[in-house]
């Protein structure tokens, strides 16, 4: 009888430890994703924004037709210093309408809308988007796939077909 009780208590303890470990892992990824979102929304610290990415990040902008294979090319594509950018109406860069985090797949899917903004004095947006982020074991983004409803379409009229570029 004592063995049965001891076994039950040990099983409960191990299950609780495993459950806590999974919760800690999930909350860790959720914390990183939420900090990333806040940094991107504020759009005022490009160095901090880049700190979320692995050196060998692969980014595909599916509608714009751009694929980059490392952090340097990624930073050149996203360069926040290029052009005159200003979000209109004092809003953040974008709003999230849906956020799904899959701890087991180390993936986050963000959907939302880029708020209206001006870029080099041209008024643009709002643009709906979906972004897929995959995180490596170090908690850095190793893959990003963007689906952005660019308008006017002239932004993507010369886009490469990434369906065939593997």
pLDDT, tens digit, 9 for 90 and up, residues 50-104:
999 999 999 999 998 999 999 999 999 999 998 899 999 889 999 999 999 999 9
Q: How many helices (H) and strands (E) does the chain have?
A: 3, 9
Q: What's the token pair of residue 20?
A: 């806590």
pLDDT attached to residue 133: 98
Rounded CA-CA distance 80/75 in Å is 9
Cα dihedral across residues 77, 94, 40, 23: positive or negative: negative
pLDDT attached to residue 22: 45
pTM for the full predicted model: 0.81
Angle value at C-alpha 26, between 52 and 106, nearest 5 degrees: 55
């Amino acid at each position: 009888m004592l063995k049965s009780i001891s076994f039950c208590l040990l099983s409960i303890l191990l299950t609780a430890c495993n459950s806590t470990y999974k919760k800690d892992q999930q909350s860790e990824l959720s914390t990183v994703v939420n900090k990333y979102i806040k940094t991107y929304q504020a759009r005022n610290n490009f160095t901090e924004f880049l700190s979320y990415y692995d050196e060998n990040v692969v980014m595909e902008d599916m509608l714009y037709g751009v694929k980059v294979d490392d952090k340097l090319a990624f930073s050149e594509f996203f360069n926040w210093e290029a052009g005159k950018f200003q979000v209109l109406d004092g809003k953040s860069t974008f709003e999230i309408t849906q956020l799904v985090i899959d701890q087991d797949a180390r993936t986050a899917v963000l959907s939302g809308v880029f708020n209206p903004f001006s870029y080099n004095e041209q008024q643009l947006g709002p643009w709906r988007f979906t972004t897929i982020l995959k995180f490596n074991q170090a908690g850095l983004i190793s893959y990003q796939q963007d689906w952005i409803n660019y308008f006017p379409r002239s932004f993507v009229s010369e886009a490469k077909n990434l369906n065939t570029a593997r």
